[in-house]
Amino acid sequence: DTGVSQNPRHKITKRGQNVTFRCDPISEHNRLYWYRQTLGQGPEFLTYFQNEAQLEKSRLLSDRFSAERPKGSFSTLEIQRTEQGDSAMYLCASSATRPDTQYFGPGTRLTVL
Amino acid sequence: DQQVKQNSPSLSVQEGRISILNCDYTNSMFDYFLWYKKYPAEGPTFLISISSIKDKNEDGRFTVFLNKSAKHLSLHIVPSQPGDSAVYFCAAAGGSQGNLIFGKGTKLSVKP
């Protein structure tokens, strides 16, 4: 069990650029979640995959955000035309069943200048 | 409207004493509760969980208590150690997809 991994760990970009983050879940976990955390807040749910199917999206996930999980393995989160308000820690978590403990990756810190 | 509330932004405790972190929730559909510990620039680390069918769960120095009628849970750490200093998040899950709803966290400082 190597845990959940996320890449890159840090990303600095200019406003208007597109960015893509990757999450590799724990290998036997079929559920994958994306969250966003800003300063002084707890993580906030963005979207959820069961295997390759995206089953739930938060209203926080504007149309500039898109997530995929091809073949039910790793997942990517893309933000198009980044805005300064997108600056946050983006967290990925995975779990085996519901209810079950979600294990988080180290996060990707996005800074939009 | 916050469904999970941690009303104490910070807590300071002496090493060896008990730390008690509190959490309140409003949604009666929540049926699974978790505590996570978070260091700066890292992802949350799972500590302990409890199902709504139980009122207590223990794991070593950590015990979580659930009072469903009061919609309240608490995390007890005994004895507290300086390495426990971190931000602690309470989270709740309910519904088929299982996404977690987090509180804003409590920063615990354990002083030697």
pLDDT score at A72: 85
Between A28 and A44, the higher pLDDT residue: A44
Burial class (CB in 10 A: 0-12, 13-18, 19+), B4: buried
Between B20 and B2, the higher pLDDT residue: B20
Residue A52 touches chain B, beta carbons under 8 Å: no
- Does the distance separating the beta carbons of B97 and A101 come in below 8 Å? no
The tokens for B69 are 């009628």
Q: Is the pLDDT of residue A97 over 80?
A: no
Q: How many angstroms separate the CA atoms of A16 and B51, rounded?
A: 44
Q: Is the pLDDT of residue A27 over 80?
A: yes
Q: How many CB pairs under 8 A join A and B?
A: 66
Instruction: At B18, give phi and psi (nearest 5°).
Output: -85, 140
Residue B102 touches chain A, beta carbons under 8 Å: yes
Q: How many angstroms separate the CA atoms of B104 and B95, rounded?
A: 21
Burial class (CB in 10 A: 0-12, 13-18, 19+), B74: middle
Q: Is the pLDDT of residue A1 over 60?
A: no
Contacts of B55 by beta carbon, 8 Å cutoff, 6+ apart: B65, B66, B67, B68
What mean pLDDT comes out for the span B3-7? Answer: 95
Contacts of A77 by beta carbon, 8 Å cutoff, 6+ apart: A20, A21, A23, A34, A46, A65, A66, A67, A90, A92
Q: Which of A32, A37, A61 is the mutation pick for testing B, counting most B CBs within 10 A?
A: A37
- Does the distance separating the beta carbons of B102 and A43 come in below 8 Å? yes
Tell me the shortest Cα–Cα distance from B45 to chain A, in angstroms.
Answer: 7
Q: Is the pLDDT of residue B41 over 90?
A: no
